[in-house]
């Protein structure tokens, strides 16, 4: 079984910040895979813009190096790579200097059939100046698209300021706020699981679901990345990625798969979140920071040890656990537990739907009590869906109940390569499909819910709880869920 490749219209993709890490690690490899699969060809072009003084050949060689380093070896075809890098060109331009914009205007094709897209892989404070120059130099078109990367602010006010700057030139239907989590295959399969199967939607509510767990754990540390200390786990993961996952789990069925129909329902979820404010913050949230570990076999630095001298003593959280509630008819009384952190026991992103126990067991004399069903949606690694259910253990000698998984592994079921998130999202921009991108009102609703938590932490004299690198987080995260008579899913494995 092979996936159907649908070609896109020819395009001019302008990448600001073309020499940056995001372009090298994610954008160029993603575009190469799509080119290799025939989703676009030499009628499209990729135009890099940056301050570094490079020639077209230099940029093409950099693209080739990116493919060599970040594309799987089995997909590195020299003939395809040579054809691909020929569509690359480069313009030296300091975005704050009006002098370089004429070269960009000359490089773009004045053809309405050629899609014009701008990817702003730069700091958010450059979004508005770039948008203004695109307009002043008549590079902007009403049918053009602009892609903006997070972080989109550090709170609601700064987020609104950034979006206001972009909105001076680009209309909302032209703006693509990228969240790579929404491009993951399993995230989209959550929609298919819910709305393309009759067995789940009738029981997808508080009558049958006990609680939901959302975990995004990373085994790596924050390292020396300066931006992380300015954001922390709450802003970096909860405010965007994890709240978007919550929306897909909790939203009502949209009227169609139209982008705005879907995003309208996600917005309703965000606006239904019970606020966590003042005294509730200490009760329903936990923040942590990893400490180092040293033994004969391993040595891992603490977060504090990784920081530069001027950052020592930082209270930035590398771990967050919290309990949320969606106050509507479908989810009344169902808690949603979030957990995310650096230097965790393993790298895993998953959603665990814990169903309620059966109302009455007829197996009083059976060996092994019935366990409530669980649906586990694994986003990474080893993408798949697993349903834990009870069966009779085979063999004579009475009734012995046993929990077994019905396991759908994407890698084993689908033989073709699963596209990375950026592959899908980059060409969704060209297709004009905003389904997997955040609308502005969604972003602002998420900030409105997160800001009171962040502000309460800043006012508090309590430091983040410490946890050992390689563990599942601080003890407070276990207490958060265990005082409700529940446990984190990994604790049971």
Which of 154, 208, 211, 241 is the catalytic position?
Answer: 241
- Average pLDDT along the chain: 89
Model confidence at 118, in pLDDT bands (50, 70, 90)? very high
- pLDDT recorded at residue 396: 66
Model confidence at 231, in pLDDT bands (50, 70, 90)? confident
Cα–Cα dist 432/117, whole Å: 10
Do residues 188 and 436 lie in contact, with contact meaning Cβ atoms separated by under 8 Å?
Answer: yes
pLDDT digits (tens, 9 = 90+) for 290-319: 998 877 677 888 888 888 877 888 899 999
- pLDDT recorded at residue 369: 74
Q: Pick 402 or 216 by higher pLDDT.
A: 216
Cα–Cα dist 21/149, whole Å: 13
> Smallest Cα–Cα separation from 101: which of 134, 131, 124?
134
Quick one: tokens of 151? 């972080």
Averaged pLDDT, 250-267: 92
Averaged pLDDT, 100-110: 88
Averaged pLDDT, 356-370: 76
Which residue(s) pair with 465 in the sheet?
288
Model confidence at 365, in pLDDT bands (50, 70, 90)? low
> DSSP characters for 72-141?
-GGG--HHHHHHHHTTEEEEE--TT-GGGHHHHHHHS---TTSEEEEEE-S-GGGHHHHHHHHHHTT---
Does the pLDDT value for residue 1 go beyond 60? no
Q: 413-437 as b/e, with b when 16 or more CB fall inside 10 Å?
A: eeeeeebbbbbbbbbbbbebbbbbb
For tokens 């609703």, the residue is 445
- pLDDT recorded at residue 491: 46
- Which of 45-54, 108-117, 147-156, 358-367 has the least mean pLDDT? 358-367
Does the pLDDT value for residue 2 go beyond 60? no
Which residues are within 8 A (CB) of 24 and not within 5 positions of it... i.e. 6 or more apart? 62, 66, 69, 70
Active site (annotated) includes residue 241: yes
- pLDDT recorded at residue 493: 44
Cα 460 from chain centroid (whole Å): 29
pLDDT digits (tens, 9 = 90+) for 413-465: 666 777 888 999 999 999 999 999 999 999 999 999 999 999 999 999 889 99
């Amino acid at each position: 079984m092979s996936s159907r490749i649908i070609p896109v219209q020819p395009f001019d993709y302008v990448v600001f910040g073309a020499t940056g890490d995001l372009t090298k690690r994610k954008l160029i490899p993603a575009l190469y895979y799509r080119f290799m699969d025939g989703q676009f060809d030499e009628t499209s072009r990729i135009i890099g813009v940056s301050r570094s003084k490079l020639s077209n050949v230099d940029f093409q060689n950099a693209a080739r190096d990116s493919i060599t380093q970040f594309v799987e070896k089995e997909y590195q075809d020299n003939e395809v790579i040579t054809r691909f890098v020929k569509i690359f060109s480069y313009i030296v331009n300091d975005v704050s200097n009006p002098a370089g914009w004429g070269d960009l205007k000359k490089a773009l094709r004045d053809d309405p059939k050629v899609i014009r897209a701008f990817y702003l892989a730069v700091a958010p404070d450059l979004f508005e100046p770039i948008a203004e120059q695109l307009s002043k130099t008549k590079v902007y078109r009403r049918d053009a698209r602009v892609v903006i990367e997070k972080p989109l602010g550090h709170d609601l006010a700064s987020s609104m300021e950034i979006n206001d700057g972009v909105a001076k030139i680009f209309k909302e239907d032209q703006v693509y706020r990228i969240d790579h989590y929404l491009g993951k295959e399993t995230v989209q399969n959550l929609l298919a699981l819910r709305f393309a199967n009759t067995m789940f939607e009738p029981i997808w509510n508080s009558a049958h679901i006990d609680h939901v767990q959302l975990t995004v754990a990373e085994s790596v540390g924050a390292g020396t990345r300066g931006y992380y200390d300015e954001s922390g786990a709450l802003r970096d993961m909860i405010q965007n990625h994890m709240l978007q996952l919550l929306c897909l789990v909790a939203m009502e069925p949209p009227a169609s798969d139209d982008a705005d129909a879907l995003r309208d329902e996600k917005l309703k979820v965000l606006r239904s979140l019970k606020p966590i404010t003042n005294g509730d913050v200490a009760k329903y949230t936990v923040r942590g920071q990893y400490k180092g570990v040293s033994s004969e076999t391993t040595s891992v630095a603490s977060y504090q040890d990784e920081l530069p001298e001027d950052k020592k003593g930082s209270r930035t959280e590398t771990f967050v656990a919290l309990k949320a509630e969606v106050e509507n008819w479908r989810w009344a009384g169902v808690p949603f537990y979030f957990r995310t952190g650096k230097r965790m026991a393993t790298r895993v992103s998953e959603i665990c739907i814990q169903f309620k126990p059966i109302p009455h067991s007829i197996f009083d004399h059976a060996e092994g009590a019935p366990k409530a069903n669980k649906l586990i949606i694994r986003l990474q690694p080893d993408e798949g869906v697993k349903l834990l259910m009870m069966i009779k253990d085979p063999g004579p000698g009475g009734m012995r109940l046993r929990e077994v998984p019905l396991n759908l592994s994407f890698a084993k079921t689908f033989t073709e390569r699963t596209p990375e998130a950026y592959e899908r999202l980059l060409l969704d921009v060209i297709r004009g499909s905003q389904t997997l991108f955040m609308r502005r009102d969604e972003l602002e609703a998420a900030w409105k819910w997160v800001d009171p938590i962040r502000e309460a932490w800043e006012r508090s004299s309590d430091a983040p709880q410490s946890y050992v690198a390689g563990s599942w987080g601080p003890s407070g995260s276990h207490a958060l869920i265990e005082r409700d008579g529940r446990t984190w899913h990994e604790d049971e494995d």
